[in-house]
Amino acid sequence: MTTTEYTKPLPRPAEPELTEPFWEGTKRGELLIPRCSFCDEFFWYPREACPSCLQPGWEWTAVSGRARLHTYTIVYQPANPAFNDDVPYAFAVIQLDEGVRMMSNVVQCPVEDLAINMPLEVVFDSVTDDWTLVKFKPA
């Protein structure tokens, strides 16, 4: 059996209890985004209180996974050498159709084909048994 060990950094949550549902969701193939129960706003990144109305009540809400490439940069010199074998790759700001923006990678797309505003859809990358990362590919 040949398994390649995943050597890149895994997510290290500052508040694991707060974001555990998100990471459990990615393992099921669900993209969950916080949505305020009071003002209905989606927001990203997860935090205890809604940044719009500062009320603490919000729910993890499954979203479509459809998105646009808001902007990107093609990496040649990663901060972490664990990514050296991947260069050049796209480090990107993804804007979900629900409005919020998050950082991710655009995969399954040669870097020369990247274009701002290109439609994207979520893909779930199970990098280890415990962690499934959220990435995006051309839609």
Partner 1 sequence: MSIRGKAAIVGFYETPTRKEFPDRTTYGLMAEVARGVIIDSGLRKEDIDGLIGQENLNSIELAEALGMQPRFTSSMTVHGASGAASIATAAEAIAAGVANYVLCIFGESRPRSSSRLTSQVQAGPQLPRPSRTTEWEVPYGPVIAMNGWYGLMKQRHMFEYGTTQEQFAKAVVDQRFNATKNINAVWYDQPVTIDDVLNSRFTNDPLHLLESVMPCSGAHAVIVTSAERAKALPNPPVYVLGVGGPATHHDIIYTDADMTTTPVVDSAPTALQMAEVNIRDIQLAQFYDCYTILEMACLEDAGIVPKGEIGPFYESTDTTYKGAFPINTDGGQIGAGQSGGTGGGFRHIVEATRQIMGRGDERQVEEADLCLVNG
Instruction: List residues near partner 1 by CB under 8 A.
Output: 7-14, 19, 44-45, 70-83, 86, 88-89, 91-93, 99, 101-105, 111, 116, 133, 135
- For partner 1, which is the closer residue by CB, 1 or 105? 105
Burial class (CB in 10 A: 0-12, 13-18, 19+), 124: middle
Taking the C-alpha atoms of residue 16 and residue 72, their distance in angstroms, rounded to an integer, is: 28
Taking the C-alpha atoms of residue 72 and residue 115, their distance in angstroms, rounded to an integer, is: 8
Q: Which of 71, 72, 68 is nearest to 99 (CA)?
A: 68
Least spacing, CB of residue 1 vs partner 1, in Å: 25
Least spacing, CB of residue 129 vs partner 1, in Å: 16
Least spacing, CB of residue 53 vs partner 1, in Å: 15
- For partner 1, which is the closer residue by CB, 1 or 110? 110
